[in-house]
Amino acid sequence: MNQRAAGRLDLDRLLELLEQAGMLDHSAAVDVQMKAGGRLRQLERQRERAGLSDVPVSPAELVASFRLPARGAGTVTEARIQQVIADAAGVPYVDIDPLKIDATLITGAVSQAYARRNAVLPLGHQDGRFLLAVDDPFAGDVVETMRARVQEPIEVVVALRADILRVLEEVFRFRASLKGAIAELGETGTDFGNLEQLVRLGANANLDGDDSHVVRAVDFLLRYALDQSASDLHIEPKRQHSVVRLRIDGLLHPVHQLPKVVHAAVTSRIKTLARMDIAEKRRPQDGRIKIAHREVEVELRISSMPTAFGEKLVIRFFDPGVLLQEVDALGFFADELESFRRVIRRPNGLVLVTGPTGSGKTTTLYSALRAIAGPTINVATIEDPIEMVVEDFNQTATNARLGLDFSTLLRTLLRQDPDVVMVGEIRDRETAQAAVQAALTGHLVLSTVHTNDAPGAVSRMVDLGAEPFLLSTTLLGVLAQRLLRRVCLSCREETTLSPELAAGLGLDPGEARSFVVWRGQGCPVCRGTGLKGRVGVFEWMVLDERLRKMVQEGADAVEIGRAAQRAGMRSLRESALKKLALGLTSAEEVIRVTAEGG
Ligand SMILES: [Zn+2]
């Protein structure tokens, strides 16, 4: 680490600080010291593999990598270490807000190489001082160098090293492209003839090899969204600028602002890639782009819409890594998984999946179909629209203009000798009856209906016009599902339930006290939310003899639900509580998801 010079914080001094702050006890600190050499070499090799060999491993990263239990509660995370360091130096600790970054200031004050090597990030001016985020406030040489560069007194704040590096990466790659684009576009002013020519030129060139700043900015945005596992990217024109937002795990996050002049160029570039008409800005349009990302082909669906301040684009990502998973990665408990697998391997019958929009139904259906598909089994789907093309399936999209709805297509499809049929959604009488009929005549039919829970799907089918007797002989199982956001593994710590949360979960105070839960404190990995990624939570109702009889006799959803629970069905809430107890999700998530009528 070679950082004894210029007062930089070294491992010994850091361990001392952590002991003084009461975060580590002495024996843990000694243990870290003994293992530090080996661990450092390991981390440095990781850096090299990530192409970051010019960024030294900091003592804080080294200590955090041991994931030691903190005295008191939780683990010794990098964020907590940085807070201790900030306190020791008597300077504030800050969370860096990527939207408040001044790219021009940064690129004007430091070179990328210097900033990366020393983990410094210029933040702006405050009360006549230059605000500088660093990961080591004791690095006097760095502060001195920066003072000389900017010719201003420096105010130091401490931030997370990963935060600083991420922002630097964004600024120097993306913002520099924008700066270049503005320079390019500035010469042409608002001459859209030239602008479109420029954008078209970029479209014909190899994406990676092209030098156009706009092309690089768009490429960066798309890859950035994929790296963040975003499901959608919004580019929204406002009065003064335009905002780029990503939907990650169901929530929108603002990530960038684009100057007005760049907005037009960026949207034109995306429309060109999607083979949309770039001259048409007043009519909504749709298009598609396919890009290779980490050796996987990802499909992007683009839609444009005129708004008061210009054209808004939404890009939806159909990432096979998200949409197509192994059935055992969906989040089933072992007993549910085994039972679900058994049911979807039956040669005929009806399996329904239910839940609100965005609850992961499509992923479950695709994953189930892929588990069944094989050289001897013909899997066919009718979808509205086809969300992802899977070669193993024969997929057909509904088309209202041609009069091809679910029921018409389903009847046609049955003449194509399918073994397994997936019908995107049952929402009318014709489709409900056709699906039951198909299941009755030797096909396995998978579909979705809109209900809050699994027993509700039975009443829904009957309301739609399915004959109770036929339904009772064909329906194999109903899966109700939701997606719970996972607790971030990088910053999670053990905690106990507050009385309010316990009440929200319906636990009595005694029960709640012994209930250990995990909570993410918020870190750059999870963008400060404490949650990252999602996991399915299920209510899996398998129809046994008794339930069949009840369906046939026209029992209502409440009665069926009670009988199913007596037969061992876990309700959505019970499943969610079990996931909470396993530390997979947060108490707030369980309440949010199971309060939505589940
Ligand atoms: Zn986190």
Distance 79 CA to ligand 1 centre (A): 10
Distance 255 CA to ligand 1 centre (A): 17
Structure tokens at 310: 């210009």
Distance 478 CA to ligand 1 centre (A): 34
Distance 309 CA to ligand 1 centre (A): 35
Residues with CB under 5 A from ligand 1 (ion): 488, 490-491, 520, 523, 525-526
The Cα angle at residue 138 between residues 137 and 143, in degrees rounded to 5: 70
Amino acid at 464: L
Distance 95 CA to ligand 1 centre (A): 12
Distance 315 CA to ligand 1 centre (A): 26
Q: Which CATH code, of 3.40.50.460, 3.40.50.2300, 3.30.300.160, 1.20.1440.230, is assigned to 5-163?
A: 3.30.300.160
Q: CB 127: neighbour CB atoms within 10 A?
A: 7
Checking DSSP bridges between strand 251-259 and strand 241-248, what pairing results, if any? Answer: antiparallel
Distance 337 CA to ligand 1 centre (A): 29
Structure tokens at 335: 């007993």
Distance 170 CA to ligand 1 centre (A): 19
Mean pLDDT of 180-193: 58
DSSP 3-state of 331:
coil
Instruction: Give the residue extent of every domain in the chain.
Output: 5-163, 189-320, 324-483+536-571
- Residue 2 scores a pLDDT above 60: no
CATH code linked to domain 324-483+536-571:
3.40.50.300
Top-level CATH class of 189-320? Answer: alpha beta
Q: Do domains 189-320 and 324-483+536-571 have the same CATH topology?
A: no
Distance 184 CA to ligand 1 centre (A): 39
Phi (first) and psi of residue 83, to 5 degrees = -65, -40
Considering only 382-391, 405-414, 517-526, 582-591, which range has the smallest mean pLDDT?
Answer: 517-526
Buried b (16+ CB within 10 A) or exposed e, 521-543: bbbbbbbbbbbbbbbbbbbbbbb
Residue 273 host element (H or E): helix 260-273
32 close to 7: Cβ distance less than 8 angstroms: no
Distance 283 CA to ligand 1 centre (A): 41
pLDDT confidence of 205, banded at 50, 70, 90? very low
pLDDT in tens, 400-416: 889 999 999 999 999 99
- Mean pLDDT of the chain, nearest integer: 87
Distance 137 CA to ligand 1 centre (A): 23
User: Which is more confident, 571 or 323?
Assistant: 571
User: Rounded to whole angstroms, what are the CA distances from 29 to 60, 74, 205, 327?
Assistant: 13, 17, 55, 43
Structure tokens at 330: 């969906």
Single pTM value for the model: 0.68
Distance 78 CA to ligand 1 centre (A): 11
pLDDT confidence of 100, banded at 50, 70, 90? low
DSSP 3-state of 442:
coil
Distance 359 CA to ligand 1 centre (A): 23
Q: What are the helix (H) ranges across 312-401?
A: 320-323, 334-344, 361-372
